[in-house]
Amino acid sequence: MDDKKRILIVDDDDQISKMYTTLLNIKGFTTERVNNGEDAIAATLEFKPDLILLDIMMPEISGFDVADILHNTEKTKDIPIIVLTALGGKEYRDKATAAGVAYYFVKSEVDLDLIAEKIQELLKSS
Amino acid sequence: MLMFLSVLISIISAGIVLAGLMALLRGPKRAQNRWFFIFTIFLAVWIVSNFLDSNFVNSTTDILLKIDFSSILFTAWALLQFTLVFLIRNADKKRLIHTPTFTITSFLLNVMFSLLIFLNLVVTGDISTGKLIVDYMSLSWAYIFVFLAYFVIVFIILTLKSRRSKGLEKSAVKIIYIGLLIALLTNIFTNLIFPELFSVRSTVKELNIIGYGGLLFMTLMIYIAITTQKLFDIRIVIARSVGYVLSFAVIVVIYVTPTILISTHLLNYRLSVAKILYLVAVTCIVAILFQPLRSFFNKLTNKVFYRNYYEIQDVIDKLGNLLVGSVDPEEIKHKTLELLTGVLKPSYAKYLLLVNAREGDEQIIHGLSMTNKELIDTDELSSSASRHLYEAMVSNNIALALRLRTKHDVLGYIIFGYQKSGSSYSDVDKRLLSIAAAEIAISLQNALRFEEIQRFNVTLQAKVDEATKELKKTNEKLRAIDETKDDFISLASHQLRTPLSIIKGYVNMVIHGDAGKINEQQKDFLELAMLSSENMVSLVTELLNISRITSGKFSLDVGPVNLADVVDAEVKKLANMADSRKVALTFHKPHDFPTLLLDEEKIRQVIANFIDNAIYYSKHKNAKIDVQLTSEDDDIVFKVIDNGIGVPLQERDHLFTKFYRAKNAKFVRPNGTGVGLYLAKVVINEEGGNLIFESKEGEGSTFGFKFNKNKIIQNTNKAQ
């Protein structure tokens, strides 16, 4: 079992998830990516990530629902989730917090470095 | 002749009692009516006994005399009681004298005097000479005193009351007053004055009748006073009475004078005064009765000779009533036809109105209106000019056409067929119709207009409902569009930002050497590319915000913000750019800067915008930008001070408006959007702060904002 930390990337936009995969791989993480909510839950149970990078705007099951489900499932509730989304706005942040999300980033504003930093922070503490 | 006098006396006393009875029957519960009745009884008794003891001298005379004197006392007493009850209406204003005590006391007083009279202590009658001679005894003075006292009190009360009363009461009082006066005068004349003037006793006795007549008159006056419920002018009564008297006088003179002359000179038949008075009385009665008798027989003969007799006034009244009671044109037409048909009995009657005329009708109406007559009788259409009309009317069986016309319009006609009986319409009928026409026309017009208004209302309501529905639909559509617009904007911005972040992502990785080592130049180039893409992101955000502002969807996402960190980050971000333009960018981050409640994203943009502007609009030499963030007494102040191109005076007012670009700015930076400062102003205002702006052209500008310290949150107990 390699001691590389595993990160699950959930985003319906392939370009985005590919980029994060590249970035995180370079940073030394093992990554897995899915492009919808259903698969996200399945992958969480199977892949057992140490952290999930979650997009909100997805067809059918939104990121909120995913976060909600994972937060309420015994097996998965301790996995930290970072939401990365185009949606700004207090209501969304609150919703995310309610669903047990650790961090909330708005895509356009955030720095990749910052994200990477936060990820490392979280994983260190876990 | 005594016979006729007796008859008259009977009539008079009967009349008096009758008045009392009627008053009693009309108001058996009212005290004044009861006392009036009692008064009339006593008065009648007195009149009869007085007449009898004066004219019939026999064994009963003595008793009659005593009855005479007792009854007049009781009469006066009853009159007083009546007056007291009649005039003192208000229960709480009872005078001292009107109590049951007084009534009983005075009654007993009367009884006492009657006893005295019967004991021969007041008057005695001597019939030895064949005529009655009245001797006044010792106690007669007391009797006379009491008797007069009653009358005096009555007069006093009446006088006092007439001053204080108003309206109906005052009229009543006046009438009684007049009645009493007349009675008094006539009796004084007959009992005191005439005896002095005429020596013939029999004549005097006969003239007593006038005195009795006066009493009758008084009784009638009182009767009227207590039974009338409405106010009437005393002057009318006097006027009518005078009128009656004068007309009777004329009749009497015209009739009686020749009668006397004829009988005395032609027939040698001497008429006594009594007979003359008798004639006068009969003449008056006949004169009074003539009018009612005449109208009675008129009606009777009308009924016999005119089988279809009706009173025009009755019909008009009925018509008025039914017109007032309805606003429905159909109802009006139906009911008026019913009424008129019932009265005139035509073979048929119907309305021809312009409003809903059929083809044939219109022609007829036109023809009728050409005549310009209110009532067109077919039989009277003789001139050749109306030959067509005549033929049309005959062929349609029209006997009479009544025009319905208001001031401005002709509504149409009511047409009547010939009377069922076959006879033609009388003048009375035609008069009725012309009166009716005016009323019907106005009512019908009103009803038709009312109907029109109602119909109009209904259509109006329908139209309003339709319009509302349309409006609602349009609103829905607009809202849908609005939502899609918003979605579109959000979507567009999302779609725009995604590729940008990817660019940023990869370029960042390369800059960090994640794709291999790069040289200085490569790093520079990539960093410049990064900057551009970041600008792009800013622009998109700005555009998004502007759209949101204009569509009213601009809102603040307020949270705890450490401005010091934010400013610091932005400064760091723009450091490279400043460097490459040879602009010195300085910022001293303050320690322990308080946390504020702001929309971080937006205020960050404002800060970035100000610094960005300062960098871009700097001059080439010695360009310096000082970024300041301070916490003063009441406020937080952020300033970006540069020594760049500044803002010309005339551009200052427009600087913060949408899409505005100052001339010198355009020159330096042709690609600016003119949106940044507008957004900055909106954001600062929304967040509750104040814009700071100072500038001198060619020397530099200061852009910034300040917030009042009440934006600080009290405790920062959040771990992050």
Q: What is the pLDDT of residue B703?
A: 92
Choice among A63-67, B229-233, B238-242, B653-657 with the minimum mean pLDDT = B229-233
Choice among B282-296, B319-333, B445-459, B539-553 with the minimum mean pLDDT = B539-553
Report yes or no on whether pTM surpasses 0.80.
no
Q: Is any Cβ of chain B less than 8 angstroms from the Cβ of A86?
A: yes
In a domain, B505, yes or no: no
Q: Which whole-number Å values give the CA distances from B718 to B489, B597, B711, B715, in the listed order?
A: 34, 13, 17, 9
Query: What CA–CA distance (Å, rounded) separates B32 from B10?
Result: 25
Q: What is the pLDDT of residue B482?
A: 66
Query: What CA–CA distance (Å, rounded) separates A108 from A96?
Result: 18
* Per-residue pLDDT reduced to its tens digit, B666-691: 777 766 667 778 888 888 888 888 89
Query: What CA–CA distance (Å, rounded) separates A20 from B433?
Result: 105
Q: What is the pLDDT of residue B619?
A: 80
Residue B134: strand pairing partners: B125
Domain end marker among B280, B305, B330: B305
More confident residue, B123 or B419: B419
Which residue has 């309420």 as its token pair? A72
Residue B694 belongs to domain with CATH number: 3.30.565.10
Cα torsion B313, B314, B316, B318 to 10°: value is 160
Q: What is the pLDDT of residue B376?
A: 85
Residue B338 belongs to domain with CATH number: 3.30.450.80
In a domain, A92, yes or no: no
Domain end marker among B398, B428, B452: B452
Mean pLDDT within B118-122: 74
In a domain, A123, yes or no: no
Q: What is the pLDDT of residue B334?
A: 93
Which residue of chain A has the CA closest to B536?
A108
Which chain B residues touch A111 with a CB distance below 8 Å?
A: 508
In a domain, A40, yes or no: yes
| Same-domain check for residues B250 and B396 | no
Other CB atoms within 10 Å distance of the CB of residue B16: 25
A23, A107, A112 member nearest B497 (Cβ) = A107
Residue B143 belongs to domain with CATH number: 1.20.1070.10
- Inter-chain CB proximity A20 and B501 less than 8 Å: no
User: Distance (Å) from the C-alpha of residue A15 to the closest C-alpha of chain B?
Assistant: 7
* Nearest CA among B389, B364, B365, B369 for reference residue B379: B389
Q: What is the pLDDT of residue B306?
A: 67
Confidence band for B654, pLDDT divided at 50, 70 and 90: confident
**DSSP assignment, residue B324?**
H
Q: What is the pLDDT of residue B437?
A: 92
Q: What is the pLDDT of residue B377?
A: 85
Q: What is the pLDDT of residue B91?
A: 44
- Inter-chain CB proximity B601 and A106 less than 8 Å: yes
> Which conformational region is residue B718 in: left (phi greater than 0), alpha (psi within -120 to 50 degrees), or beta?
beta
Angle between helices B140-164 and B61-87 (to 10 degrees): 30
Q: What is the pLDDT of residue B199?
A: 56
**DSSP assignment, residue B514?**
B
ipTM over 0.85? The verdict is no
Question: In total, how many domains does chain B have?
Answer: 4
Which chain B residues touch A88 with a CB distance below 8 Å?
A: 557, 601
| Same-domain check for residues B246 and B203 | no
- Inter-chain CB proximity A108 and B514 less than 8 Å: no
Domain end marker among B305, B321, B346: B305
Contact B673, B686 (CB under 8 A): no
Other CB atoms within 10 Å distance of the CB of residue B418: 18
- Inter-chain CB proximity B494 and A19 less than 8 Å: no
- Inter-chain CB proximity A16 and B537 less than 8 Å: no
| Same-domain check for residues B165 and B248 | no
Contact B644, B636 (CB under 8 A): no
In a domain, A95, yes or no: no
* Per-residue pLDDT reduced to its tens digit, B149-172: 888 888 888 887 777 777 777 777
In a domain, A70, yes or no: yes
Which chain A residues touch B497 with a CB distance below 8 Å?
A: 86, 107-108
Q: What is the pLDDT of residue B301?
A: 83
Its domain, for residue A47, covers 6-87+100-108
In a domain, A125, yes or no: no
In a domain, B86, yes or no: yes
- Inter-chain CB proximity A90 and B502 less than 8 Å: no
Q: Which amino acid is at B230?
A: K
| Same-domain check for residues B259 and B321 | no
Long-range contacts from B126-132, C-beta under 8 angstroms, 24+ separation: B127/B57, B127/B58, B127/B61, B127/B62, B130/B57, B131/B57, B131/B201, B132/B53, B132/B54, B132/B57, B132/B61, B132/B65
* Nearest CA among A89, A41, A81, A37 for reference residue A63: A37
A19, A27, A109 member nearest B502 (Cβ) = A19
Structure token pair of residue B281: 């009385």
- Inter-chain CB proximity A26 and B509 less than 8 Å: yes
Kindly tell me if the per-residue pLDDT of B719 is higher than 50: no
| Same-domain check for residues B75 and B215 | yes
Q: What is the pLDDT of residue B254?
A: 84
SS3 of B400, please? strand
| Same-domain check for residues B67 and B215 | yes
In a domain, A34, yes or no: yes
Q: How many angstroms from the chain centroid is the CA of residue B442?
A: 23
Structure token pair of residue B18: 């009758």
* Nearest CA among B110, B50, B51 for reference residue B80: B110
Angle between helices B100-118 and B140-164 (to 10 degrees): 150
Share of chain B above pLDDT 70, in %: 86
Residue A28 belongs to domain with CATH number: 3.40.50.2300
Question: In total, how many domains does chain A have?
Answer: 1
In a domain, B508, yes or no: no
In a domain, B220, yes or no: yes
* Nearest CA among B557, B550, B542, B553 for reference residue B609: B542
| Same-domain check for residues B444 and B570 | no
The continuous run of DSSP H or E covering B508 comes out as helix B427-511
Mean pLDDT within B389-408: 85
* Per-residue pLDDT reduced to its tens digit, B591-610: 888 888 888 888 888 898 89
| Same-domain check for residues B46 and B179 | yes
A15, A89, A112 member nearest B508 (Cβ) = A112
In a domain, B154, yes or no: yes
The continuous run of DSSP H or E covering B695 comes out as strand B690-696
User: Distance (Å) from the C-alpha of residue B565 to the closest C-alpha of chain A?
Assistant: 14
* Per-residue pLDDT reduced to its tens digit, B400-415: 889 998 888 888 899 8
Query: What CA–CA distance (Å, rounded) separates B39 from B62?
Result: 24
| Same-domain check for residues B165 and B252 | no
Which residue has 């005295």 as its token pair? B116
Query: What CA–CA distance (Å, rounded) separates B687 from B558?
Result: 9
Which residue has 């504020």 as its token pair? B596
User: Hey, CA dihedral for B442, B443, B448, B451, is it positive or negative?
Assistant: positive
Share of chain B above pLDDT 90, in %: 7
| Same-domain check for residues B653 and B590 | yes
Contact B39, B82 (CB under 8 A): yes
Q: Which whole-number Å values give the CA distances from A27 to A48, A61, A115, B284, B513, in the listed order?
A: 19, 30, 12, 143, 11
SS3 of B347, please? coil
Whole-number average pLDDT of chain B: 80
Its domain, for residue B162, covers 2-232
Which residue of chain B has the CA closest to A90?
B557
| Same-domain check for residues B597 and B674 | yes
Ranges B400-409, B540-549, B569-578, B617-626, most confident: B400-409
Q: What is the pLDDT of residue B529?
A: 87
In a domain, A47, yes or no: yes
Query: What CA–CA distance (Å, rounded) separates B369 from B680?
Result: 82
Which chain B residues touch A112 with a CB distance below 8 Å?
A: 504-505, 508-509
E-only strand ranges, B307-381: 349-353, 375-377
- Inter-chain CB proximity A15 and B502 less than 8 Å: yes
| Same-domain check for residues B343 and B418 | yes
In a domain, B547, yes or no: no
